[in-house]
Amino acid sequence: MKILTPIFDFFLPRLCPSCKNKLTPLESVACVSCLSKIEQADPERIANEYIRKFLNDKIIAGFASLFIFEKDKEIQHLIHGLKYEGKFQIGLFLGELTAIGLREEIEKWKIDFIVPVPLHHLKRAERGFNQSDYIAGGMKKILNIPVKSNYIKRCRFTETQTNLTLLERAANIEGAFRVKKRKIIKGKRILIVDDVITTGATVSECGKALTKNGAAKVYAVSVAIAE
């Protein structure tokens, strides 16, 4: 396939989702220049975000994120290309990058399986897919941890969280998830995966449903962290 890439690129050039420049045969999804501009989340930032978003609830046992989300910048272009343009290869690529970048931390958690944050069936029908499934799939390729997309269901449709305050987001998402495989998750260490974590309300509510149904520990990972 690598041998054929230059031939395919000649007839149908692959473009970077951010800068729209033509990719070289050695660049798979995004160009090296754009990737180098994405700010990585350092350990101090992650520790502070964990304290702010998850510590008090005592639901998420550990959290990590690879990048800092910035509006109108390279990371947003990549994630929007996945979510709104259906460029699934971006999801797999971001999942692989996340797994490679956070591998040491994730391996410490001794995860049994990965659970992508689910979409409500109406939202999934509208979009046609769940972006977190592809990110989780990319992580699986690197970490060799099973992905279980059908173990938890989003049972209540919620309005977009974008313009809501912290308290409004928590209220909006409360009770939105239901566990489908109670016997299987009992005593397991589960990793929740999402594209961007902002307040942490969605991930916390997911984790609450899992722990109430017997999960031993619940952890969370996202491609990017936002304010």
Residue 54 has pLDDT above 70, yes or no: yes
Per-residue pLDDT at 51: 95
Asked, for residue 11, whether it belongs to a domain, the answer is no
Count Cβ atoms below 10 Å from residue 107 Cβ, excluding itself.
Answer: 11
Q: Which amino acid is at 171?
A: A
Asked, for residue 52, whether it belongs to a domain, the answer is yes
pLDDT-derived band of residue 173, with 50, 70 and 90 as boundaries? confident
CATH number at 194 reads: 3.40.50.2020
Residue 4 has pLDDT above 70, yes or no: no
Q: How far is CA 47 from CA 13, 134, 182, in A?
A: 41, 26, 31
Dihedral Cα 135, 65, 188, 143, nearest 10 deg: 50
- What mean pLDDT do residues 4-27 have? 77
% the chain with pLDDT above 70: 88
Query: Which residues constitute the domain of residue 169?
Result: 17-225
Per-residue pLDDT at 157: 67
Asked, for residue 6, whether it belongs to a domain, the answer is no
pLDDT-derived band of residue 10, with 50, 70 and 90 as boundaries? very low
pTM of the model: 0.89
Query: 116: which strand partners?
Result: 193
Q: Domain tally for the chain?
A: 1
Asked, for residue 53, whether it belongs to a domain, the answer is yes
Question: In this predicted model, which residue has the larger pLDDT, 223 or 28?
Answer: 223
What is the Cα–Cα distance from 79 to 94, expressed in whole angstroms?
Answer: 9
pLDDT-derived band of residue 125, with 50, 70 and 90 as boundaries? confident
- What mean pLDDT do residues 23-50 have? 95
pLDDT-derived band of residue 174, with 50, 70 and 90 as boundaries? confident
Task: Please state, rounded to an integer, the average pLDDT across all residues of the chain.
Answer: 89
Asked, for residue 8, whether it belongs to a domain, the answer is no
Query: 207: which strand partners?
Result: none
% the chain with pLDDT above 90: 73
What is 134-190 written as a DSSP string?
HHHHHHHHHH---B-TTSEEE-S----STT--HHHHHHHHTT-EEES-HHHHTT-EE
183-205 pLDDT per residue, tens: 999 999 999 999 999 999 999 99
57-88 pLDDT per residue, tens: 999 999 999 999 999 999 999 999 999 999 99
What is the Cα–Cα distance from 60 to 200, expressed in whole angstroms?
Answer: 10
What is the Cα–Cα distance from 62 to 85, expressed in whole angstroms?
Answer: 32
- What letter does residue 51 receive in the DSSP assignment? I
What is the Cα–Cα distance from 208 to 211, expressed in whole angstroms?
Answer: 5
Per-residue pLDDT at 1: 47
- What mean pLDDT do residues 135-146 have? 98
Asked, for residue 3, whether it belongs to a domain, the answer is no
Q: Which amino acid is at 129?
A: F
